[in-house]
Amino acid sequence: MRYWTIQALESWEEAENSGYLEGNKDYLMYPEEYKWMIARMSKRLPNYDGSYPVWVWLKKPDMRGTNHFEGGGKCVRLTLDLEPEDVLLSDFDDWHCILNNTFNAVSEDEWDKFYAGELQMTKEQSWERIFDLELQRDPIWSGDAPRVLQGVTGKVTLDKVKKVEHFVARQQPKWM
């Protein structure tokens, strides 16, 4: 199945030298949250090798956007051919509950009950919902836009890379 990942040029050059692409703990913005995801990958992906995750997308990222890398940075968008059982899918928006260390509620009522101490579910238990891609949510609470899916996988060998596209990240507009 096709997936895409976007990487700094330096990461791609390291992969070309080593023969594989993998996440690098030295560049993690959220080390504890990555450890949480790695633990889930270990439980849910039968072939996972324990390496730091490579983040992938099911939809080809539009590189005309300005939020992927610092402006002027040299980058690559890689098209990958991976087995679905080697990719752990999750909801991109729900992942931010983990990054922000907050409860992942399906409705405003559930949010209020959690913070009032009226639920048996822990914050960490609510985080597991990021993997339930069929979970029904209150559209008033979370909107009705389609889910944006992301994935993580372990080490990616170069034979899985089907296309390499070089680009330079756009500068943020001055008004932002």
98 φ, ψ (degrees, to nearest 5): -70, -45
The span from the CA of 29 to the CA of 86, in Å, is 24
pLDDT at position 71 is 66
The burial class, CB within 10 Å (0-12 / 13-18 / 19+), for 64 is exposed
pLDDT at 176 over 70: no
pLDDT at 135 over 90: yes
Quick one: tokens of 141? 């609470």
The span from the CA of 64 to the CA of 174, in Å, is 16
pLDDT at position 76 is 94
In terms of DSSP bridges, do strands 161-168 and 74-81 run parallel, antiparallel, or are they unpaired?
antiparallel
pTM as predicted: 0.91
pLDDT at position 126 is 98
In terms of DSSP bridges, do strands 2-8 and 149-153 run parallel, antiparallel, or are they unpaired?
unpaired
